[in-house]
Structure 1
Amino acid sequence: MEKLTLRGFEIYKGLLNSATQQQLVDAVREVAKAAPLFSPMTPYGKPMRVRMTSAGDFGWVSDRSGYRYSRAHPDGMAWPAIPAPVIKIWNDVSGSDRTPECCLMNFYGEDAKMGMHQDRDEGDFSYPVVSVSLGDDALFRIGNLERGGKTESIWLTSGDVVVMGGDARLTYHGVDKIRFGSSRVLAKGGRLNLTLRVVT
């Protein structure tokens, strides 16, 4: 395992071994059985390229009403509990005395990406966001506290964990592309990204 710091983002390269990665993938599949993956609509009327679901007290949703946290899946059911192996990662790297209230689970298919954005729907920015990469490699871009300006990019591979906290908590970031089929973790290809957040 190697720890890097890039613009305040703490990047733990190879933190999770292959057995832990498989355990996490199995846990995500159980969550998706109870709260199926869905393709959210942006407030601007365009579908997002990723499919997602959540676990915890809250899930993250998007539609024409805006981006927000909700206590219920768009189909009406409550979100499942955050799996214990996911909570362990938070406890290991977050430095927080609170447990996460949301685990957002994004699935990136072959052409999926995520535009530059801030995570700012939470009530208290003093708590970090912890991001877990599983499956295919992703080109992760880190920007600035304001839109625009010079950015830096790093390839995240399966088993990498990123902590976005402190001065970097509101830094713009995104995923430009994935190397589809680059990992054996997901047999059919694709990337899973789990992000843990304190919502309230």
Structure 2
Amino acid sequence: MLDLFADAEPWHEPLAPGALILRRFALACAPELMHDIGQVAALSPFRQMVTPGGYTMSVAMTNCGALGWTTDARGYLYSPLDPLTHAHWPPMPQAFAQLCQAAATAAGYPDFQPDACLINRYGIGAKLSLHQDKDEADLRAPIVSVSLGLPAVFQFGGLHRNDPLQRLLLEHGDVVVWGGPSRLFYHGIQPLKAGHHPLTGDCRYNLTFRQAANNE
């Protein structure tokens, strides 16, 4: 399919108070990001985590940075160690950190200092149910989320699970940043539709940068 916007400059799309989409913001560095994802996964492989309720997530995950998001029988938590390898999570690649800083600054959060990056891999049919990102120690820090590969429908609601949802198509290179009044808004990804992307094949990848520890 011909992409009419292949050469378009990045642009900002307001989403909610404190939230916006930076369209195509990560397009130029996407090949380097995908290379670095492979490097991280070679040390801490992708896995489908099991929730405390016993549900196996359809999305495969790994992490990089000082802390990584994971689950165990007690609930959701951040840990410096990968429970699969019992080693520290791989360090955050420089390209990840640079993109995150640029995106956060463009969105109005220049002081964002992420210490965790959750890497999600979506196969066909994989989804992420509506949820809040609330396991972090300091909820004043924003979330920076980078989309790579196949397009997906992003659901963005409000502070309550039953609030009206916006449904927006996220494409390769798009970055969503939310914080401030919308920091705890419910969000999710609808089941990934079949397709092929020249860089990622039949998958979508997502990088979610967070400040998990309280830096004060």
TMscore range, shorter length: over 0.9
Using a 3 Å threshold, how does the CA distance of structure 1 residues 152 and 127 change in structure 2: closer, same or farther?
same
Aligned twin of 1:167: 181
Q: Which residue of 79, 97, 117 corresponds with 1:103?
A: 117
Q: For residues 78-125 of structure 1, give each alpha carbon's deviation from its aligned partner in whole angstroms, at most 9, with x where no partner exists.
A: 101111111111211212324210000000111100000000000111
What residue number does 2:46 align with? 37
Question: Which residue among 44, 64, 74 is the counterpart of 1:65?
Answer: 74
Q: Which amino acid aligns with 1:194?
A: L
For 1:174 and 1:138, the matched residues in 2 are separated by 10
Q: Secondary structure at the match of 1:28?
A: helix
**1:128 touches 1:165 (CA, 8 Å); kept in 2?**
yes
Matched with 1:118 is 132
- What is the TM-score of this pair, normalised by structure 1? 0.95
Q: Does 1:134 align with 2:148?
A: yes
Structure 1, residues 46-92: CA drift from partner, whole Å, max 9, x if none? 10110100000100001322111111111211101111111111211
Aligned-pair CA distance for 1:5: 1.0
- Given that residues 137 and 183 in structure 1 are in contact (C-alpha distance below 8 angstroms), is that contact kept between their aligned partners in structure 2? no
Query: Could you say which structure has the higher strand fraction?
Result: 1
Deviation at 1:185, TM superposition (A): 1.7
1:15 aligns with 2:25: yes
- Contact kept in structure 1, 2:65 and 2:89, CA below 8 Å: yes
Structure 2: gaps spanning 5 or more residues: 1-9
The number of residues matched between the two structures is 198
How many angstroms apart in 2 are the aligned matches of 1:121 and 1:44?
Answer: 17
* Equivalent residue, structure 1, for 2:4: none
- Residue by residue over 1:145-194, the C-alpha shift from the partner in whole angstroms, topping out at 9 and shown as x without a partner, is 0110211110000100010111110000000122332422213x111000
> For the aligned residues, what is the CA RMSD?
1.2
Contact 2:125 2:193 in 1 (8 A): no
Alignment of 1:77-96 (within 5 A): 77-94=87-104, 95-96=109-110
Query: What does 1:172-183 align with in structure 2 at a 5 Å threshold?
Result: 172-183=186-197
The answer to whether residue 147 in structure 2 is matched with residue 147 in structure 1 is: no
Native 8 Å contact 1:50 1:106 kept in 2: yes
